[in-house]
Amino acid sequence: MRSLFENLYPDEEADNSYDIPYEALYGKGYRGIIFDIDNTLVPHGAPATHEAVRLFERIHAAGFDTLLLSNNKEERVKPFADAVKAQYIFKAHKPARAGYLQAMKQMNTDPGTTLFIGDQIFTDTWGAKKAGIRTILVKPIHPKEEIQIILKRRLEAIVLFFYHRRKGSER
């Protein structure tokens, strides 16, 4: 029997975006990576850091195309995208599928060759799953968040409880 939460479950989890084995994922046939920005790559509202720039240099050197998919305004997204040399879509209306589909079109990838990396289940993971994209859920970088995100985190904890319980029973 499928769980009520199944469509919200990430395909995998990682502690952060910086320690993911991108080269191995490229070896498995993935060619495009869609990233969320806030609390996935940097704390909420922060500019691109040297660490983020180096990460994207590493990812691009491995052969990946990258795109930042954000619900934020262009004033937030464009400078970050320019700094890390990634394509971007702003005001993406995540979890709507349209932004994810447009991202794959821009990168010339498909669901089988695209990854999504983000920190929120109800926007990032759910939207990517609706578009058929493999998801990696990372832990939020910084605990300071807007109130609506804090409330969503409480609901996410319930989803993750059932996700971890299911994963434990599969072992």
* Domain of residue 122, CATH code: 3.40.50.1000
Domain assignment present for 1: no
How does pLDDT run across 86-115, given as a tens digit for each residue? 999 999 999 999 999 999 999 999 999 999
Domain assignment present for 121: yes
Domain assignment present for 60: yes
Residue-number span of the structural domain to which 62 is assigned: 6-170
pLDDT of residue 61: 98
Domain assignment present for 149: yes
- How many angstroms separate the CA atoms of 66 and 107, rounded? 7
pTM: 0.86
Cα 74 to Cα 64, 92, 110, 119: the distances in Å are: 23, 10, 25, 20
* First-to-last C-alpha distance (Å) of the chain: 18
Question: Into how many domains does the chain fold?
Answer: 1
Domain assignment present for 18: yes
Domain assignment present for 157: yes
Are residues 141 and 45 in contact, defined by beta-carbon separation less than 8 angstroms?
no
